Amino acid sequence: MPSVEIQPFRDEFIAPAAALFAALYRKQRQAAPILPDRLEPVDRTCERLGQFFKANPGLAALENGRLAGYLGWLVVDDFRETGRRGAYCPIWAHAAAEGAAARVYPALYRQAAGLWAAAACRVHAISLLADDHAAQEIWFWNGFGLTVVDAIRPVQPLDARIPGDIAFRKATVEDAGLIAEIEVEHMAYYTQPPIFMAPREPVSADAYRDFIRVPSNAVWLAFAGADLAGYMRFEPYGYGAVEIVQSQTTIANSGAFIRPVFRGRGAGAGLLDAALRDYAPQGFQRCSVDFESFNPDAFRFWVKHFTPVSLSVTRRPEAF
């Protein structure tokens, strides 16, 4: 078995690193063809990695003098709004050669973990391709657990029962105050068991007015009689979504909440279906969403209608 040598990442590694990622991404697109192809060509990944490693640190793993894997990361001071500094490896900022994950990733992490500790990073995180099962197993055995799932689907009507007793419509600026009210409930819901996310500031009515005025942005509302049952928010760029789902023809779901009393009646499916039907004639081809895996209501809904393409895993070392 060849020994793994870890070195600082250098420019000469960019092209072989891009080839490693492109091979993995090609397999992911075979499993989920609706994914954009923008990062599959090696030259595009070369450009992305070149930009990244000009500003961020990284490591290279060599076997017999050849690149067998690499790992780059960002240092984030307020990781997931927890107040903790974290080291985060984007989905394209790492890869291992076929058959080498079990050797390469532990060696890379051993070296990176020391650098992250020296930089006072109290959280370690990495985004993985959903079809890269070899990498998932290695990071799991290194103490990482699933946190965020990115998923995608075609912009097509749902194959689901749409309720007839709930009405759906697109919000206008006049609805901003109503959306802001339910947004307070939405943010409070995330802090409750079993989710226990860090508290987040609700979006204000003024911010929702500005949001709705932006072309292609939309908030869809579900009403049970006169009562607002829930909402879904959509925009061309999903903040926090992994880069592989982003494209000019991707619309991102960037927020969704159904009031507990109305759950189980199809309000979520109706909102998603109404939005997809509205976006299809606008030229959007795919819809993305990212959600926390430890949110049981969200998990059950999104995996029913979307295909996971990225799994982001995190570790919070006990010593920190």
The answer to the question of residue 316 being in a domain is no
The answer to the question of residue 315 being in a domain is no
Q: Are residues 192 and 264 in the same domain?
A: yes
Q: Are residues 134 and 244 in the same domain?
A: no
pLDDT (tens digit per residue) in 118-153:
999 999 999 999 999 999 999 999 999 999 999 999
Of 87, 121, 143, which marks where a domain is finished?
Answer: 143
The answer to the question of residue 317 being in a domain is no
Q: Are residues 205 and 225 in the same domain?
A: yes
Peptide bond into 90 cis (omega under 30): no
Q: What is the pLDDT of residue 314?
A: 98
Q: Are residues 136 and 250 in the same domain?
A: no
Of 94, 124, 143, which marks where a domain is finished?
Answer: 143
Residues 6+ apart with CB under 8 A from 77: 85
- Report whether 253 contacts 224 (CB < 8 A): no
- Report whether 312 contacts 128 (CB < 8 A): yes
Residues 6+ apart with CB under 8 A from 51: none
Q: What is the pLDDT of residue 73?
A: 98
The answer to the question of residue 319 being in a domain is no
Backbone angles phi, psi at 169, to 5 degrees: -155, 160
Q: What is the pLDDT of residue 1?
A: 60
pLDDT at 46 over 90: yes
Q: Are residues 197 and 127 in the same domain?
A: no
pLDDT at 39 over 90: no
pLDDT (tens digit per residue) in 146-200:
999 999 999 999 987 777 789 999 999 999 999 999 999 999 999 999 999 999 9
**Any idea what DSSP says for residue 215?**
T
Q: Are residues 192 and 95 in the same domain?
A: no
**Any idea what DSSP says for residue 174?**
G
Q: Are residues 225 and 245 in the same domain?
A: yes
Q: What is the pLDDT of residue 293?
A: 96
Residues 6+ apart with CB under 8 A from 187: 199, 200, 201, 202
The answer to the question of residue 313 being in a domain is no
pLDDT (tens digit per residue) in 9-37:
999 999 999 999 999 999 999 999 999 99
Q: Which of 3, 123, 154 is nearest to 66 (CA)?
A: 3
* Residue numbers of the domain that contains 40: 4-143
Q: Are residues 270 and 174 in the same domain?
A: yes
What's the pLDDT band for 60 if we cut at 50, 70, 90? Answer: very high
The answer to the question of residue 314 being in a domain is no
Q: What is the pLDDT of residue 239?
A: 78
Q: Are residues 295 and 159 in the same domain?
A: yes
Q: Are residues 32 and 64 in the same domain?
A: yes
Residues 6+ apart with CB under 8 A from 124: 86, 87, 113, 116, 144, 314, 315, 316, 317
Q: Are residues 134 and 27 in the same domain?
A: yes
Provide the CATH number for the domain around residue 24: 3.40.630.30
Per-residue b or e along 29-45, where b marks 16 or more CB atoms closer than 10 Å to that residue's CB: beebebbbeebbebeeb
pLDDT (tens digit per residue) in 208-263:
999 999 999 999 999 999 999 999 999 998 777 899 999 999 999 999 999 999 99
- Report whether 292 contacts 298 (CB < 8 A): yes
Q: Are residues 57 and 193 in the same domain?
A: no
What's the pLDDT band for 45 if we cut at 50, 70, 90? Answer: very high
Of 87, 122, 143, which marks where a domain is finished?
Answer: 143
The answer to the question of residue 196 being in a domain is yes
How many domains, the chain?
A: 2
